[in-house]
Structure 1
């Protein structure tokens, strides 16, 4: 239900009514997209792609209704409170982005990405780069056209317009500075940690781990992390993701019989996303102001769960008996071994399986490639060679001839999500900053976690991040939550504390 507005705000009330209607359409779009990735039979693909394209065109038409410009202008003169003014700001932003793109382009992009994402699920296991290129090049062409139209409209570079959709206010020049700083100290830290870990004995859990037992463990972990099963569910997909809407959050994971940690950590990661969505400001839930502020902030929530909490020694003390309960006792489930296992630094090909230290290299690689793709400095056919060169430079690995574990491994580009990848490392930086602020305010936080009490973390995130939605722009939200704008020094301090501390 939309928060009430005063009767002397007729233009604002009309805008709120229209956005409530859009929210209902977005609900249907999200659930149809989740079903397409998780449940839909293969022969439903063409019809589903056409339906989503039709729905996308319908929603775009509503967002670009010529009457909106006048309503937005009049609403700005009405007596609005702080939440309403923030909502109006977000409405204007949405209108500005929508009116830069013709409906036919939006419809064509939706159709192309639906087809490409569906084909990707079949082509990646076959390592069929040539087949993938056929369905990917139209997606890239349409993304470039969107980026150029947005650039002409906003006065930004083409890539920055796509980045801004996921991380409002962020620009590639700022990212370049953040990532350049990472490059100055991260390789040395990786080397130090690998040398330090060289003599460690690490036991890998021995399977097989029955899928149903893994699923029961995941559901139990979601309950402990506060997931509301009255407002969401867990399913399975090729690539783990969270979707749906705050009223009905859909999470997916994937299972392997010989590796329970992939599914468990993926589920914990997606549960962080879900807690954010389920705890957005409900009084405004049908309005733009109730949306998560940015995808970098969204990733900060999933990484707060997966990296900050799930690898904390106190958390692993609680996890160990659960593993024994679901899979039987084995030495690898001892808490100290779990700590060594989950903080093991080892460069690998797969981003979602990467350790905390080498993960940023995967993000930098993808960021630099997608920026050059959108700006026209790189063509799709050249991606494998550039990917291999970057992988060799950043991680000392090669992917030549192995596109399945190289540029085809992620769902983002097939889905047209150019500009998303930087949000992962921004999220890691933000999550380190959140926990630094928590520890300043509660010096006993680690002792509280050791008692198995996670509630102080949930309370802090709920009050400072979740409940705020998009009331504040990103920099101000960070300032209000933690006392400072984004400061990557917290990320470095966190990594050095976790990986180089004697404790």
Structure 2
């Protein structure tokens, strides 16, 4: 009898689980449709489409919210509280419960208002950036700050609102751990950058000076994507004001941007976005719409893009492979050597103001500026009207440069137009994780550098697929990293990597 009862309980739990999974797939399908509309808004939508698109995205957002927070979702989760589930099913329930509990705490009217505010703010940001007019964007930023404070308060009124928002992007690592890693990066990088700027190293930084037509750069970017293995049958390359990736394992699209004076920047951003896309395209197709078919979080996502951009795209091995193709597009660089390309792509800038154009080291100081400002905005320690001055002061203090305009200062990033407070720390967390993952892959793959130089990326893609992509959100962040590398997430591999690499480049 006991055996029969246990079997009946298992059957009931299985049926309940499948009913829950059906609901999850449906609301994620709605979210996926909203994602396509969001991509279109940034890439192809005519400028006049914003009023309708705001309503479309707001409606889809509220529909999805209603589906998540429906009473039936809570009932199904409650029925599974004490169920004997497989590890994979338990992970799915864990992720769904986290999403449900956060969504259930927030009124649908607030969700709609946040979505609608984001659509209007995106257009306002694009216009404000083009016109160098922060005051035109400020009311939208103020509105986002107010709404996101309210959002955080609805979820947990007794906690730091910024901590609550950070969990939207990195739910598995504490804000204290994130701040500790950022602090370690600052302590390592600031003196290193000072030493580099005081060094007498004569890098070939002028090798790629000149004018490089956008059309040719776009063809070269497409060639770079083909070279590293981007599946154009499930993706596409477009241009946007801020490079981004959007999609899933069946359809994942990348965008980049071009500066006719900086062809290396376009290659870097394109390879970066490829890393994001490769992660999405490598998720299990049979698990689409469920947590097992979704990426872990933004720190892990950023680890994939930074791994491809920095550990592959900035390597000597990659330029052994790619430089002949570059020269073919731009014959004026025919005299450049692999070492010239490597040095030019890895120089540490004296006066860079733009995060997405930053070198590998100063990049993290750009992140720290944004992190500190958005944290203080959300906590109420900084007024929106004071953002430009505080931004400029921090740039002068941390990077030794001061923006002349807000377009190259506090208006340069798209994130705040979406209300994405808490997003920026994941960039540095991802860079740290990328170094740890690449070091592990390099230790397991024979002659990885030689394979990259030959254009053979199969082993690296397979390693990342087995250790990261195939798991979706089954494991929480630190467990995923520990399973892949044998060590808990730390900044050690990153600091070792930059000290060795830049020590050799600059003789420090």
TM-score range, shorter chain: over 0.9
For the residues of structure 2 that align with 1:254 and 1:117, how far apart are their CA atoms?
A: 17
Secondary structure in structure 1 of the residue aligned to 2:441: helix
Deviations 1:33-91 (A, max 9, x none): 00000111111111101111111111111111012111011133444322111111111
Cα drift, residue 332 of structure 1: 6.2
In structure 2, stretches of 5+ residues that fail to align are 1-9
Q: Could you tell me which residue of structure 1 aligns to residue 88 of structure 2?
A: 83
Task: Decide whether aligned partners of structure 1 residues 102 and 203 sit closer, same or farther in structure 2, where only a CA change above 3 A counts.
Answer: same
Q: Which moved more, 1:279-288 or 1:445-454?
A: 445-454
Task: Decide whether aligned partners of structure 1 residues 364 and 332 sit closer, same or farther in structure 2, where only a CA change above 3 A counts.
Answer: farther
Matched, 1:276 2:302: no
* Residue from 101, 107, 113 that aligns with 2:118: 113
Matched, 1:215 2:214: no
Secondary structure in structure 2 of the residue aligned to 1:235: strand
Contact conserved, 1:163 with 1:170, CA < 8 A, in 2? no
* Residue from 432, 436, 440 that aligns with 2:435: 432
Contact conserved, 1:300 with 1:430, CA < 8 A, in 2? yes
Contact conserved, 1:197 with 1:344, CA < 8 A, in 2? no
For the residues of structure 1 that align with 2:296 and 2:200, how far apart are their CA atoms?
A: 38
Cα drift, residue 290 of structure 1: 1.7
Contact conserved, 1:262 with 1:353, CA < 8 A, in 2? yes
Matched, 1:326 2:329: yes
Task: Decide whether aligned partners of structure 1 residues 444 and 479 sit closer, same or farther in structure 2, where only a CA change above 3 A counts.
Answer: same
Cα drift, residue 207 of structure 1: 4.2
Pairing of 1:41-190 with structure 2 (within 5 A) = 41-152=46-157, 156-190=159-193
Q: Could you tell me which residue of structure 1 aligns to residue 29 of structure 2?
A: 24
Contact conserved, 1:222 with 1:268, CA < 8 A, in 2? yes
For the residues of structure 1 that align with 2:63 and 2:239, how far apart are their CA atoms?
A: 30
Q: Could you tell me which residue of structure 2 aligns to residue 355 of structure 1?
A: 359
Equivalent residues, number? 496
Per the normalisation by structure 2, the TM-score is 0.94
Deviations 1:338-390 (A, max 9, x none): 11101100141100000001011011111111111111111111111211121
Matched, 1:392 2:393: no
Contact conserved, 1:150 with 1:158, CA < 8 A, in 2? no
In structure 1, stretches of 5+ residues that fail to align are none
Matched, 1:258 2:261: yes
Deviations 1:261-292 (A, max 9, x none): 22221111100000000001222111123211
Deviations 1:425-465 (A, max 9, x none): 00110010011112332463333334332222211111101
Per the normalisation by structure 1, the TM-score is 0.95
Pairing of 1:358-377 with structure 2 (within 5 A) = 358-377=362-381
Q: Which moved more, 1:100-109 or 1:215-224?
A: 215-224
Cα drift, residue 204 of structure 1: 3.7
Deviations 1:277-324 (A, max 9, x none): 000122211112321111011011001111110011010111111112
Secondary structure in structure 2 of the residue aligned to 1:250: strand
Cα drift, residue 206 of structure 1: 4.3
